[in-house]
Each structure stands twice: as structure tokens, then as C-alpha cells.
Amino acid sequence: MSGANMIEKKKSLQKEVIIMGIETSCDDTAVAVVLGEGRILSNLVSSQADFHQRFGGVVPEIASRHHLEAVNLLVDEALREAGMKLNELSAIAVTYGPGLVGALLMGVTCAKALSYAAGLPLIAVNHIEGHLYANFLLHRDLELPLVALIVSGGHTNLVYIEEHGCFEVLGRTRDDAAGEVFDKVARALGLGYPGGPIIDRLSAEGNPEAITFPRAFLEGNSLDFSFSGVKSAVLNYINRMSQKNEEIDVRDLAASFQQAVVEVLVEKAIQAAERKNVKTIALSGGVAANLSLRSSLSRRASEEGYRVYYPPLEFCTDNGAMIACAGIYQYLKKDFASMDLNAVPGLQLSAGCDET
């Protein structure tokens, strides 16, 4: 690109909203720069999975330490890849909850420092909303109202969204999150961390009808979830087999367990769309990367006349672009945070409509 073209490009970009998204709620340090129109200029993720692998799950202190080491480097690299300087951004968006408190604080502190240093507005993003906004980022034709199924390692939520910023929580897990049970079952089988992708891969070669595990549909027409029953059933099965000295067919076990979880997620998402009389279901969060969930929900939804959206695989798990995208919508509403922003580890989706 010639020097003149480069200057022209920069000028046109400057007229737009340009948001940096910073995400450090769990074990991925992620920073992205996204344009208001949804174009991703940079999107970097530094995964810590290898460091947590031998513990079979995320160790909070290790997570915080790695975020501290990585976050500033990623900020510099994300700006460099985007061809931007800090003061050319419109705002800094950061995840402030839910998540691990020490991990969240690394991102929040970094974002506050950048915001203060460059005089940029600070935007506090709810991580669960961030996952939802991955769909708006990647599907420009996505329209409201819709029902969202947001399923990750820490959350399982069915949400009705009529307007941006208005979330009606229709159901949430009463115990373990969907991703959490994938991780716990994988750990019990000695398969490594994170368990979801490993179980997903093994399931492709297994028989989902081989072992019957319980499906918790709960009382009445509840749209809440409970995955502790299926988790205990799998753990009991593993113990029984090892007491009898019988070999476990890990592929069949993985496929049967996965089917039990996916079936409940799919049926409740369809019920929610029916109840709210919407035509669109948006699936997101780390577990949305599950191939069986993606295909089963798409199949059931098309039978029932619903459209299903989900992000490409790399935007299902934690990333900075989804936080930046949620930040764009908050920026347009001038929904800014102050310098006393703190991490809120137990943050929930706000039930009511924010009138700001």
C-alpha cells in the first residue's frame, strides 16, 4: 500500500469506532482490536492450557501469574497487527466478571491503566454477554429478538434478548456448567484438560446409544439445567467397571455421555424459542464448539422452523474480539465505566432492561 493510501485508510478508520477488547477471566489471555462495523483488525489469544493440563483443571494462582506476564505483550502485539496506536482507539473494553477474581483483576487493571494513560473511555463487559456478542460479530445478518444458549466452562444460560442490553434469563444451571462436566468426566478418564474437545473427538468414533445416562429435564417446564446427575452417573459407571476389572470403551462412554448432555441442551433451546415465539436461536460459548451440539441443534431447529447461528470454532472459546464487539454496543449507548471498576467474580446476566 502506498504512503498516501495508507494515510487515507487510517483517516477513514479514525472516523469509526475502534475498540480494544481485553479478556482474562479464566485461562486464556486474549486481546483484540475490532472496528465498529465488525471488522476484526487483530485477535490474539495466549492459551495457558498446557500449564493447567497436569492439574486436570485451572489453578487460579497460575492463571493470574500468566495473565500478568502475557497481557501487556498481547496489547502491544494487537495494536501492531491492527496498525494502530493506543490513542487512535475509541475505547478499551474489558471483561470484569464472571470469572476467577485474580485473573479478572489482571485484565481490569491493565484496561484501567491504558484508559487512564490515553484518556480513553473504559467499558466494563460481562463475559457471558461477550460470548453472545461473538455471534453478532461474525453474523452481520443476525437480528433481534432471539433466544441465546450460552454454554461454556463456567456458565450455562438460556436467555431471551429483545433489544441490545436487555436480557431475560429463561434458565441457568443449578449446579455444574455444561463445559465443567465435560472437563470433569475427561479428568476422571485421565484424558487431559480441557476435556470438551477431547470428548468431542472421541465421541465421533463411539456409539452414543452404548450406555444410557440420565437426562435431567427437571420439574414441569423448567428451562433450568442440572448436569450433576449425568456427571455422577458417569463417575459411578467408571468406578463400577474398575471394581469389576472390566475395560471401559472410552469412545462409547464419551459418545453416550456427550449425547446425554447435548440432548438436554438442544431440547431446552427449542422449548425456549417456542415459548418466546422467536425464530432465531444463537448458540455460543466454549461448548458451542461441540460438533454434535452444533449439528443436533441445527437439525432439530430446522425441523421446527428455527434458524440457528453459532460462531466459527475459534470464536466459541474465550477471545478478545467478542469482548470488543459487546463493547461496541455499549460504546454506542455511552455505557462507560469509571476508574473504580472492580472485578466481579460472581457477576450474573442482569435480568432487567438497562434503560441507559
Among residues 36, 196, 208, 320, which is the contact residue for ligand KG4, using CB under 6 A?
A: 196
287 binds ligand KG4 (CB under 6 A): yes
Pick out residues in 135-174 that bind ligand KG4 (CB under 6 A). 152-154
349: its cell numbers: 446476566
Among residues 43, 46, 126, 290, which is the contact residue for ligand KG4, using CB under 6 A?
A: 290
Of ligand KG4, Zn ion, none, which one does residue 196 interact with (CB within 5 to 8 Å by kind)?
A: ligand KG4
- Asked whether 321 and 34 are in contact (CB, 8 A), the reply is yes
Of Zn ion, ligand KG4, none, which one does residue 253 interact with (CB within 5 to 8 Å by kind)?
A: none
Pick out residues in 276-335 that bind Zn ion (CB under 5 A). 318
Angle between helices 228-243 and 178-188 (to 10 degrees): 10
Distance CA 83, CA 18 (A): 12
Distance CA 292, CA 262 (A): 7
Return the number of the residue (28 or 252) whose C-beta is nearest Zn ion. 28
195 binds ligand KG4 (CB under 6 A): yes
Phi, psi of 201 (to 5 degrees): -65, -45
Of Zn ion, ligand KG4, none, which one does residue 289 interact with (CB within 5 to 8 Å by kind)?
A: ligand KG4
| Helical residues (DSSP H) of 189-335, grouped into ranges | 195-203, 228-243, 250-276, 291-304, 320-332
How do the residues of the chain divide into helix, strand and coil, expressed in percent and rounded to 5? 50, 20, 35
Question: Whole-number minimum distance, CB 131 to Zn ion, in Å?
Answer: 6
Among residues 29, 152, 203, 296, which is the contact residue for Zn ion, using CB under 5 A?
A: 152
Could you tell me which of 338, 265, 274, 340 has the C-alpha nearest to residue 296?
Answer: 265
Of ligand KG4, Zn ion, none, which one does residue 194 interact with (CB within 5 to 8 Å by kind)?
A: ligand KG4
Return the number of the residue (200 or 318) whose C-beta is nearest Zn ion. 318
Handedness of CA 274, 275, 277, 278 (dihedral sign): negative
Residues that bind Zn ion (CB under 5 A): 152, 318
Residue ranges that bind ligand KG4, judged by CB under 6 A: 26, 152-154, 179-180, 182-183, 194-197, 200, 285-287, 289-290, 317-318
